[in-house]
Amino acid sequence: MTKEIPTLILGIGNILWADEGFGVRAVEEFHKSYAVLDPADKVIDGGTLGMYLFDDICRCDKLLVFDCCDFHGKPGELRVLHDKEISIWTSTKLSPHQDGMNDLLAAAHLRLSAPNQIIVVGFQPVLLDDYGGSLSNEAKKQLGPAVEAAFKELKNWGVPLRERTLNESYEPLNENSALNMERYEAERPSQEEADRTGDRRYAFIRTNEA
- The torsion angles phi and psi of 162, rounded to 5 degrees, stand at -135, 130
Q: Do 150 and 30 touch, CB atoms closer than 8 A?
A: yes
Average pLDDT over residues 197-207: 51
- Per-residue burial over 153-189, b = 16 or more CB atoms within 10 Å of its CB, e = otherwise: bbeeeebebeeeeeeeeeeebeeeeebebeebeeeee
Judge whether 67 is annotated as a binding position.
Answer: yes
pLDDT value of residue 202: 46
Tell me the pLDDT band of 85, cut-offs 50, 70 and 90. confident
pLDDT value at 181 more than 60:
yes
Tell me the pLDDT band of 184, cut-offs 50, 70 and 90. confident
Tell me the pLDDT band of 189, cut-offs 50, 70 and 90. confident
Judge whether 45 is annotated as a binding position.
Answer: no
- The torsion angles phi and psi of 70, rounded to 5 degrees, stand at -95, 95
Judge whether 20 is annotated as a binding position.
Answer: yes
Q: How many Å apart are CA 199 and CA 101, to the nearest integer?
A: 25
pLDDT value of residue 206: 44
Q: What is the pTM of this model?
A: 0.88
Q: Beta strands of the chain (E only): which ranges? A: 5-12, 34-36, 42-47, 60-68, 78-82, 117-123, 161-163
Sorted by where each begins, the domain ranges of the chain are 5-165
CATH dotted code for 5-165 = 3.40.50.1450
Residue type, 183: R
For 97-143, write each residue's pLDDT tens digit. 455 677 888 889 899 999 999 999 999 999 998 888 899 999 999 99
pLDDT value of residue 48: 87
SS3 51: helix
What's the whole-number average pLDDT of the chain?
Answer: 87
Tell me the pLDDT band of 22, cut-offs 50, 70 and 90. very high
Share above pLDDT 90 across residues of the chain, in percent, rounded to a whole number:
60
pLDDT value of residue 125: 95
pLDDT value at 7 more than 70:
yes
Cβ-based neighbour number of residue 7 at 10 Å: 24
Tell me the pLDDT band of 95, cut-offs 50, 70 and 90. low
Q: How many Å apart are CA 73 and CA 80, to the nearest integer?
A: 12
Q: What is the DSSP letter of 103?
A: H
175 compared with 39, residue with greater pLDDT: 39
pLDDT value at 80 more than 60:
yes
- The torsion angles phi and psi of 25, rounded to 5 degrees, stand at -65, -30
Residues contacting 118, CB < 8 A, separation 6+: 62, 63, 64, 65, 86
